[in-house]
Chain A
Amino acid sequence: DAGVIQSPRHEVTEMGQEVTLRCKPISGHDYLFWYRQTMMRGLELLIYFNNNVPIDDSGMPEDRFSAKMPNASFSTLKIQPSEPRDSAVYFCASRSTGGFSYGYTFGSGTRLTVV
């Protein structure tokens, strides 16, 4: 298995532009999570899906952030418009229903820089 795949690895964009981050979870995993990592706030859970349905989006910081999961093998996190304070590393993770005691599998992350 190739693991959780995120793209792009790095993204540099100008303030006000739309940014779309992508994630392909491990096949067969029915939970998908989006995290954001910054020096100031550590790892924050933004949103998670179960069977492609958003379950908890209480961590999404503002309406500028949105996430979708149109099918079991693909999810996007969109920021529109982007701001410099959105600069962070964004991680996607997945796990299976019975796998809570086995932890999550994380992708390599997307480093976003908004200038």
Chain B
Amino acid sequence: GDSVTQMEGPVTLSEEAFLTINCTYTATGYPSLFWYVQYPGEGLQLLLKATKADDKGSNKGFEATYRKETTSFHLEKGSVQVSDSAVYFCALNYGGATNKLIFGTGTLLAVQP
């Protein structure tokens, strides 16, 4: 079945370091891909998305490119801040009859000053 695999956390970085959080997926069709962020004590917020191969989603300095050939959607940011500390979830879904948003297990990012 369809699934999403994320790198294990926690990821601990110093402020202004480069961030990569790996995400790969298994899907039978052509899903849309998402990154969600969850700050402590809050719900999930959509961070960015990509709907087809080679699309790049970007928001708040974060980027991810939909790579069909490697079935990946890695999250990157050039310079992290303490305020980026949160749990990041990679997810996929399809339209039509299959409506489930399938999440990865989440990756905790801790940015130290």
Contact = CB atoms under 8 A, between A and B. Distances in A.
Interface size class of A (residues with CB under 8 A): 20 to 34
Contact of A106 (B43, B51, B93, B94): B43
Contacts of B106: 42-43
10 contacts: A42-B106, A91-B43, A100-B99, A101-B32, A103-B32, A103-B46, A104-B101, A106-B45, A107-B43, A108-B43
B95 A101 contact: yes
B99 A50 contact: yes
Given A42-B104, A101-B95, 6 more contacts: A33-B101, A43-B103, A100-B95, A100-B99, A102-B46, A103-B34
Nearest to A59: B100
A71 B89 CA distance: 31
A55 interface: yes
Interface residues of B, number: 23
Contacts of B101: 33, 45, 93, 103-104
A91 B106 CA distance: 15
Contacts of A100: 32, 93-96, 99
B76 to A, nearest CB: 19
A101 B33 CA distance: 8
A57 interface: no
Contacts of B96: 100
A42 B49 contact: no
A14 interface: no
A51 B51 CA distance: 25
Given A43-B89, A107-B43, A102 B49 contact: yes
